[in-house]
């Protein structure tokens, strides 16, 4: 049985265009240097993880985990906050949430329901 290994951090709050937050490996090193042991991965951010590749390839997942471990952290979970909100958005909020939707689905609430 595994037990809690130490503190984790949600990377979505930090990921961006500037180093070390522009790539999962450098963000993991930054977090590890601060004493974090685990990472909550924002699955909608391609600089944090290639979710489609992860869904299709165990090798990619093994390599990804290994790269995080080399930096001193492990993935604790894949966060799907934004995808979940888009899945069940009420029509009254559709326009507000369009910024989180893929460009091809913005302004098309019916297509997102299918």
Q: For residue range 58-67, list pLDDT tens digits in order.
A: 999 999 999 9
For residue 108, the enclosing domain spans 8-113
Q: Is residue 17 part of a domain?
A: yes
Top pLDDT among 86 and 58 is at 58
Whole-prediction pTM value?
0.76
Q: Is residue 3 part of a domain?
A: no
pLDDT, position 47: 96
Q: Is the pLDDT of residue 7 over 90?
A: yes
Q: Is residue 51 part of a domain?
A: yes
Q: Tell me the average pLDDT across 25-41.
A: 97
Helix, strand, coil percent content, the chain, rounded in steps of 5: 50, 10, 35
Q: Is residue 45 part of a domain?
A: yes
Residue 100's nearest CA partner among 78, 90, 79, 85 is: 85
pLDDT, position 58: 98
Q: Is residue 99 part of a domain?
A: yes
């Amino acid at each position: 049985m595994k037990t809690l290994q130490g503190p984790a951090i949600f990377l979505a709050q930090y990921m961006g265009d500037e180093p070390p937050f522009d790539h999962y490996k450098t963000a993991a090193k930054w977090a590890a240097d601060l004493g974090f042991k685990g990472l909550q991965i924002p699955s909608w951010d391609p600089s944090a993880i290639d979710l489609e590749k992860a869904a299709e390839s165990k090798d990619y997942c093994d390599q990804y985990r290994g790269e995080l471990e080399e930096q001193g952290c492990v993935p604790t979970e894949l966060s799907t906050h934004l995808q979940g909100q888009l899945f069940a958005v009420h029509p009254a909020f559709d326009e507000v949430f369009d910024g989180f939707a893929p460009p091809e689905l913005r302004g098309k609430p019916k297509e997102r329901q299918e």
